[in-house]
Amino acid sequence: MAFQFTDSNFADTALKGGVSVIDFWAEWCGPCRLIGPIIEELATQYDGKATIGKVNVDENPEISMKYNIRSIPTILILKDGELVDKQVGLTTKAALEAKIQPYL
């Protein structure tokens, strides 16, 4: 199951080191609902190798503002707390895997 990042747990999880894949989404966003199952699959597939989860932009405005999220879905890839890649808009599982693999 995908991790639920929040304003309060973000620093202790996404920035702690290793690889984090963060899906910024909202309940009302159609493309976000389409990419949701892909994020869930990747979370299971990369369990123990990367922290893969979601941030609800409506409930967690601090993180969204920090990373200047203007469009959703936006997926950020962080390595050791540093932003290394970004995907804005709907994409495929294969495309996301290709972005994640180099950082594992």
- Sequence ranges of the domains in the chain: 3-94
Query: How far is it, in rounded angstroms, from Cα 88 to Cα 90?
Result: 7
pLDDT score at 49: 96
User: What are the residue numbers of the active site?
Assistant: 29, 32
Looking at residue 35, its pLDDT comes to 97
Residue 42: per-residue pLDDT: 98
Full pLDDT tens readout for the chain, 104 residues: 899 999 999 999 999 889 999 999 999 999 999 999 999 999 999 999 999 999 999 999 999 999 999 999 999 999 999 999 999 999 999 999 999 999 99
Residues in the chain: 104
- Which residue carries 């963060």 as its tokens? 22
pLDDT given for residue 60 in this prediction:
97
Contact (Cβ atoms closer than 8 angstroms) between residue 84 and residue 75: no
Superfamily of domain 3-94: Glutaredoxin (3.40.30.10)
